[in-house]
Amino acid sequence: MAATARSLIIGPSTGPETPYPLQMEGKCIPTANLPVDDNLTPAGVYFGWASHPNHPETHYGFSIYPMVMSIGNNPYYNNTVRSAEAHLLHDFGADFYGVEMRLLITGFIREEKNYAHVEALIEDINVDCDVARKSLDREAWALRETGTGTLDGSWLLRETPEQNRLTNTSSPRMTETQTVTRIG
């Protein structure tokens, strides 16, 4: 079955519109699933930015990645529990289990669907990733903190209480002059 043609860019060139951006954070369970508030968003596929404090690929501060995420029950897999599954648009050498992650949701791509075949699901996921990359690759959608945009992503970079406790006792604090790594 051929996929329906979809726009590869979401949202106006001026940046996210209300109710976006939305903020989400929590410790990851396998495949970067986060706890989800049932009242936060309707089921569907979203896009935006993710940050990782203290990911093994960084030494100081945070890394920021473009991301797509599915919020819902993932009907193809017959899941009964609603979840938020983030897919960071970067190849990692480690998993995310137990890692604190923050997400800045900047827009909605499409509603959640069920699929007859896994191939159709994979095709839609690939298009969703392209939509996210192209939509975020505009000045008003790119983060100011990466030096490429105007969108405020400062929330993604604030220290967590645990980091604050650790940096006060064992290492120098991140300063405004330290850079943020944007990967993707």
Please name which of 65, 71, 32, 73 lies closest in space to residue 132, comparing C-alpha atoms.
Answer: 65
Catalytic residue flag (residue 25)? no
- Phi then psi for residue 93, to 5 deg, are -95, 0
Distance CA 161, CA 149 (A): 28
From first CA to last CA, the distance across the chain in angstroms is 31
Q: Residue 165 in 3-state DSSP? A: helix
Residue 69 C-beta-side C-alpha neighbours within 13 Å: 35
- From the candidates 17, 57, 85, 112, give the one annotated as an active-site residue: 85
Instruction: For Cα atoms 174, 177, 180, give the angle at the middle one, nearest 5 degrees.
Output: 70
Indicate left, alpha or beta for 105 from its phi (over 0: left) and psi (-120 to 50: alpha). beta
Distance CA 111, CA 124 (A): 11
What DSSP designation does 94 have?
S
Would you name the residues annotated as active-site residues? 85
